[in-house]
């Protein structure tokens, strides 16, 4: 607010705009608490001094990679800097040791290959371009140097890119602490393969994006004295359970239901499944197919990932029996029975689904 009081006629400023959030302009008149601004959009506005923020006239056109370098660290300054970098295809920006990621809404595999990981190995934060690998490397180095546990918090609204960012952090930590386990299956591979399993049972298509995590998770990666990964624990909480039985159009239920309906024929027969459109828990929304996603292939990928993380065939079968039984339960309808306050399955279809659910639950 002090900077606002020091504004003069001719100062470059930011002012709130109902359409563009913030627009820049030049102060042409100051009358008490009212400031008149000629905006670059062509509009002339009068705003209260408290709604006007100074703009750095020497701000670089491509933005700055660390926002602690900004002359004014206020909302319009931060947003404008992120926009300038985004326009240059720079989706990562630091604020000190905090990394801000802006969802590019496209795949950028060149940003995350093994060569890039090698570059960030041992580099201090700020030495190279902002990147999740730099954050992961810093946490890893501090753990080794100080001998105490480190935590990385990934936070943001739905669709911001938390799921993908977490995957990149885990990939880097697996790269740094990798070693081959005795059975020929690397521990870091098991850590990474936990992602498709978690996503199958905890992610769904929402209005914001096609692979939104509908649960919070705390991932604990354990390292030994030499800095090698020795194990991992994933504690999930706050699963959005209401989504199982109630879905709004055009969202989808959890991926696992659609995968199972697209499973190989022998599995479809075993679980007595079929077209997802025939199940009440899936047909409340008219959205069934994700662009570029082969559900039958995703089912096999999830099965392979479950093998890697150590879920055996019997346990996998039990898991998918429960998933199938839930779908059948959703198709059971009731009607009033002969006894007082009693109910019975409505028709033969409801009896079939109830008996199938009972069989699957054993």
157 a known binding residue? yes
Which residues neighbour 64 within 8 Å (Cβ) at sequence distance 6 or greater? 70, 81, 93
182 a known binding residue? no
161 a known binding residue? yes
Asked if residue 120 has pLDDT above 90, the reply is yes
Asked if residue 318 has pLDDT above 80, the reply is yes
Q: Is residue 185 part of a domain?
A: no
Q: What is the pLDDT of residue 233?
A: 87
Summarize pLDDT for 229-278 with one digit per residue, the tens: 988 888 777 899 999 999 999 999 999 999 999 999 999 999 999 999 99
Asked if residue 163 has pLDDT above 90, the reply is no
Q: What is the pLDDT of residue 3?
A: 44
Q: What is the pLDDT of residue 278?
A: 97
Q: Is residue 23 part of a domain?
A: yes
21 a known binding residue? no
Summarize pLDDT for 134-154 with one digit per residue, the tens: 999 999 999 999 999 999 999
Band (pLDDT 50/70/90 cuts) for residue 184 is: low
E strands in the chain? 12-17, 21-31, 34-39, 44-48, 52-54, 92-95, 98-101, 203-204, 212-213, 216-223, 229-237, 334-336, 343-345
Summarize pLDDT for 284-298 with one digit per residue, the tens: 999 999 999 999 999
160 a known binding residue? yes
| Mean pLDDT on 150-176 | 92
CB atoms within 10 A of CB 188: 23
Band (pLDDT 50/70/90 cuts) for residue 1 is: very low
- For residue 66, the 8-state DSSP code is B
Asked if residue 50 has pLDDT above 90, the reply is no
Q: What is the pLDDT of residue 7?
A: 83
Whole-angstrom distance, CA of residue 343 vs CA of residue 334: 6
Asked if residue 360 has pLDDT above 50, the reply is yes
Q: What is the pLDDT of residue 180?
A: 55
| Mean pLDDT on 318-326 | 98
Q: What is the pLDDT of residue 5?
A: 55
Mean model confidence pLDDT for the chain: 92
Asked if residue 217 has pLDDT above 70, the reply is yes
Q: Can you name the residues that pair with 218 across neighbouring β-strands?
A: 235
Band (pLDDT 50/70/90 cuts) for residue 185 is: low
158 a known binding residue? yes
- For residue 210, the 8-state DSSP code is T
Rg of the chain in Å (alpha carbons): 27
The percent of residues above 90 in pLDDT, for the chain, comes to 79
Q: How many domains does the chain have?
A: 1
Q: Is residue 46 part of a domain?
A: yes
Q: Is residue 33 part of a domain?
A: yes
Q: Which domain holds residue 47?
A: 2-54
State residue 36 phi and psi, 5-degree precision: -95, 130
Query: What proportions of the chain, in percent to the nearest 5, are helix, strand and coil?
Result: 40, 20, 40
Q: Is residue 216 part of a domain?
A: no
10 a known binding residue? no
Q: Is residue 13 part of a domain?
A: yes
Q: Is residue 340 part of a domain?
A: no
Summarize pLDDT for 70-113 with one digit per residue, the tens: 999 999 999 999 999 999 999 999 999 999 999 998 888 999 99
Query: Which CATH number does the domain housing residue 41 bear?
Result: 2.30.30.360
Q: Is residue 22 part of a domain?
A: yes
The more confident residue out of 33 and 176 is 176
């Amino acid at each position: 607010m002090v900077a606002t009081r020091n504004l003069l006629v001719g100062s470059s400023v930011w002012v709130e705009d109902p359409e563009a959030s913030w627009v820049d302009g030049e102060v042409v008149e100051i009358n008490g608490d009212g400031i008149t601004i000629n905006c670059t959009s062509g509009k002339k506005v009068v705003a209260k001094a408290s709604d006007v923020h100074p703009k750095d006239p020497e701000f670089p056109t491509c933005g700055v990679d660390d926002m602690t370098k900004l002359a004014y660290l206020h909302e319009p300054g931060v947003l404008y800097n992120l926009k300038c970098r985004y326009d240059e295809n720079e989706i990562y920006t630091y604020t000190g040791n905090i990394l801000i990621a802006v969802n590019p809404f496209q795949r950028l595999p060149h940003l995350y290959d093994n060569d890039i990981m090698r570059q960030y190995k041992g580099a201090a934060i700020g030495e190279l371009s902002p990147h999740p690998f730099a954050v992961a490397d810093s946490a890893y180095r501090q753990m080794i140097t100080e001998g105490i546990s480190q935590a990385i918090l990934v936070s943001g609204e739905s669709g911001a890119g938390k799921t993908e960012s977490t995957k990149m952090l885990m990939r880097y930590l697996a790269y740094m602490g990798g070693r081959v386990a005795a059975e020929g299956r690397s521990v870091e591979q098991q850590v990474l393969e936990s992602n498709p399993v978690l996503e199958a049972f905890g992610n769904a298509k929402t209005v914001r994006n096609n692979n939104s995590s509908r649960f919070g998770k705390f991932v604990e990666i354990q390292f030994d004295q030499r800095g090698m990964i020795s194990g991992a624990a994933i504690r999930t909480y706050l699963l959005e359970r209401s989504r199982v039985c109630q879905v709004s159009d055009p969202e989808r239920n959890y991926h696992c239901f659609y995968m199972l309906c697209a499973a190989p024929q022998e599995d479809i027969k075993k679980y007595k499944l079929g077209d997802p459109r025939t199940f009440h828990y899936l047909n409340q929304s008219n959205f069934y197919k994700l662009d570029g996603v082969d559900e039958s292939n995703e089912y096999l990928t999830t099965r392979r990932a479950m093998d890697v993380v150590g879920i055996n065939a019997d346990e996998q079968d039990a898991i998918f029996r429960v998933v199938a039984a839930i779908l059948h339960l959703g198709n059971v309808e009731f009607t009033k029975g002969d006894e007082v306050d009693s109910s019975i399955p409505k028709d033969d279809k409801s009896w079939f689904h109830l008996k199938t659910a009972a069989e699957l639950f054993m």
